Amino acid sequence: MWRRVASLSSSISSSFLAQTASRLNTWESLTTGIAQQAKGVIAPKEKTPFITFVLGGPGSGKGTQCIKIVETFGFAHLSAGDLLRREIASKSADGAMILNTIKEGKIVPSQVTVKLIQKEMELSDNHKFLIDGFPRTEENRVSFEQIIGVEPNVVLFFDCPEEEMVKRVLNRNEGRVDDNLETIKKRLTVFQALSLPVINYYSEKGKLYTIKAIGTEDEIFEQVRPIFAAFEKRPSL
């Protein structure tokens, strides 16, 4: 939706649009649909975005639970890892760097990941986003806030014992280059050192919902369901 605004705005560029865009932050300038409304082309104001970050160690069940959240609550699912793997597969300029970073269990520079997320958000007609596996570092978090210009409404943390995460990752069987014991150990270290501080940050902000990520997939989803069910009752979702 953002891109549509951008292309339209070039054809109707006026001092009004320029001034308005400079005054509004990125999200607002791109989602309020001012350009469309000025031309009367597309209907009114978009809904305010509702953003959920989905955090947890490797194999904690983020992706599995996201599928259930999408089915039940109609979110758009944006997996940072999937977007990065798609970049590798498309042989883009950053592909080789991303592949090496993933093999090493390290974190891809935030600007790269945020740009991919931004593009997906632009293209989506949904206003409810599940951003899975992001932010994994403070740098990721700050970069999202700076580039996208919004904060999450909800942060889910799938809290799972390391032993269980390792077992699940080794059984994942998706042919991923990072699903081996050597890389998992590195990823767990990165998770402890870089991702836990982000989780603590959101805990302090009162946005964190911690899910005990052991048990069956359905049992875990029964902890997730009431969180979104409560938000559904509010006009914001």
Ligand X SMILES: Nc1ncnc2c1ncn2[C@@H]1O[C@H](COP(=O)(O)OP(=O)(O)O)[C@@H](O)[C@H]1O
Ligand Y SMILES: Nc1ccn([C@@H]2O[C@H](COP(=O)(O)OP(=O)(O)O)[C@@H](O)[C@H]2O)c(=O)n1
Which positions touch ligand X (CB under 6 A)?
56, 58-64, 168, 171-172, 216-217, 220
The backbone region for 124, taken as left when phi is positive above 0, alpha when psi lies in -120 to 50, beta otherwise, is: beta
**Residues ≥6 apart with Cβ < 8 Å to 40:** none
Rounded to the nearest whole angstrom, what is the least distance from the CB of residue 92 to ligand Y in the complex?
15
Q: Which residues are annotated as a binding site for a ribonucleoside 5'-phosphate?
A: 85, 106-108, 133-136, 176, 187
- Under 8 Å between Cβ of 60 and 157: no
Contacting ligand Y (CB under 6 A), which of 166, 187, 195, 199? 187
Cβ proximity to ligand Y: between 33 and 135 the closer is: 135
- Under 8 Å between Cβ of 114 and 85: no
Cβ proximity to ligand Y: between 35 and 114 the closer is: 114
The two three-digit tokens of residue 1, written as one number: 């939706």
Could you say which of ligand X, Mg ion, ligand Y, none residue 140 binds, taking C-beta under 5 to 8 angstroms by partner kind? ligand Y
Could you say which of Mg ion, ligand X, ligand Y, none residue 61 binds, taking C-beta under 5 to 8 angstroms by partner kind? ligand X
Cβ proximity to Mg ion: between 51 and 78 the closer is: 78
Distance CA 6, CA 24 (A): 14
Peptide bond between residue 197 and the one before it cis (omega within 30 degrees of 0): no
- Under 8 Å between Cβ of 75 and 67: no
DSSP code of 193? I
Contacting Mg ion (CB under 5 A), which of 33, 56, 63, 152? 63
Could you say which of Mg ion, ligand Y, ligand X, none residue 216 binds, taking C-beta under 5 to 8 angstroms by partner kind? ligand X
Distance CA 212, CA 144 (A): 27
Rounded to the nearest whole angstrom, what is the least distance from the CB of residue 155 to ligand Y in the complex?
14
Rounded to the nearest whole angstrom, what is the least distance from the CB of residue 192 to ligand Y in the complex?
13
Cβ proximity to ligand Y: between 62 and 127 the closer is: 62
Q: Which of 52, 21, 41 is nearest to 154 (CA)?
A: 52
Distance CA 134, CA 25 (A): 22
Query: Where does this chain bind Mg ion (CB under 5 A)?
Result: 62-63
Query: Where does this chain bind ligand Y (CB under 6 A)?
Result: 58-59, 62-63, 80-81, 84, 101-102, 105-108, 113, 133-134, 136, 140, 178, 187
